[in-house]
Structure 1
Amino acid sequence: MVTLNTSYLSQNRGIIKILQIIAGFAISILFCGGWTKSGCFGWGQIGYATTLNSIVTIINIVLFFLNFLDAKFWRLERVYSIICCILFLIAAALMVWFLIVEQHDYRAPSVIGTILLFFQFILYLWDVKILQGEAWN
């Protein structure tokens, strides 16, 4: 029997997951909005950031609904959050490198998207802290 965990929406983990999904859509809109010549899933730093973001956003939507349906995958989610934390830090660092060294053009979509990549890193770091019992849920 499947039960709904409506308290998940008021817990820190539920709010974090919602913010991760919203930030994921915002990053997709900013990076895939046509300001690059290589397209959304092109080569290089932008391609890495957009591909990572798209895959993780889809997984986050699935995990959100599984948690809302009261499925418990804490160990799997902890490993997933640690991996995503590292990958988003790499993506943010690559985008900073791309903006400063290669592009020299600081348009708002690229800067805001890079800031959102760092925001995703912080959200995943917070989620890891909660899943390890170091922060309050």
Structure 2
Amino acid sequence: MGEISLNTRYLSTNRGIIKILQVVCGFIICSLLCSQWYGGRSCFGEGRLGFSSGLNFVCVVVNIVLFVLNFLNIRAWGLERIYTVVCTILFLIASILMVWFIIEVNASRGYLISSTVLIVVQFLLFLWDLKILQGESPN
């Protein structure tokens, strides 16, 4: 077992940049979906919005933990691969649910459209991270 040391090179790898972008996008999605609080309805209320918001919130926390672990040079590639596969699928579902919600309620609210775009971006970032973890894309 190797010793724990700071892996500053992680910040300049594709995976490090992806994790930073995922955390930043996650915070923006949280602020957009929860900006119109209405007693919590906009954040976790309606099923499709609640799923997307809850998924995003959990992933932000896990991404921060994984970022810190990788920065401390603690490798958990097997766990990360499973996590990335699950999140890729769940963010694809969240993207579909958000588009469905916007179409159904005929919402032209900017915060909903912006959060939907960012959820699609999260899906693409997880997909890119998965390709790196599987060796299909360079790090």
Q: Is the TM value for this pair above 0.5?
A: yes
Amino acid at match of 2:81: R
User: Could you say what secondary structure the match of 2:45 adopts?
Assistant: coil
Tell me by how many angstroms 1:35 deviates.
6.3
SS of residue in 1 equivalent to 2:118: helix
Gaps of 5+ in 2: none
The one of 67, 70, 76 equivalent to 2:70 is 67
Residue 91 of structure 2 corresponds to 88
Q: Which amino acid aligns with 2:36?
A: G
Asked if structure 1 preserves the Cα contact closer than 8 Å seen for 2:37 and 2:43, the reply is: no
Structure 1 residues 18-37: aligned runs within 5 Å? 18-34=20-36
CA distance in 2, matches of 1:36, 1:86: 30
Query: For structure 1, which segment, 106-115 or 28-37, has the greater mean C-alpha deviation from structure 2 after superposition?
Result: 28-37
Contact 2:33/2:111 (<8 A) preserved:
yes
Q: Does the residue aligned with 2:43 lie in a helix, a strand or coil?
A: coil
Q: Would you identify which runs of 4 or more consecutive aligned residues in structure 1 move more than 3 Å? A: none
- CA distance in 1 between counterparts of 2:42 and 2:134 reads 38
Please give the alpha-carbon distance, in whole angstroms, between the structure 1 residues aligned to 2:91 and 2:120. 7
How far apart in 1 are the matches of 2:113 and 2:17? 25
1:46-70: per-residue Cα shift (whole Å, max 9, x none)?
1000000000100000000000000
RMSD: 1.2
1:110 is aligned to: 112
Question: Does the CA contact (< 8 Å) of 2:92 and 2:123 recur in 1?
Answer: yes
Q: Does 1:126 align with 2:128?
A: yes
**Could you list the runs of 5+ residues in structure 1 that have no partner in the other structure?**
none
Mapped pair 1:39 → 2:39: no
Identity of aligned residues (%): 52
Q: How many residues align?
A: 136
Q: In 2, Cα distance between the equivalents of 1:106 and 1:35?
A: 18
**1:6-25 alignment, distance < 5 Å:** 6-25=8-27
Q: TM-score, normalised by structure 1?
A: 0.95
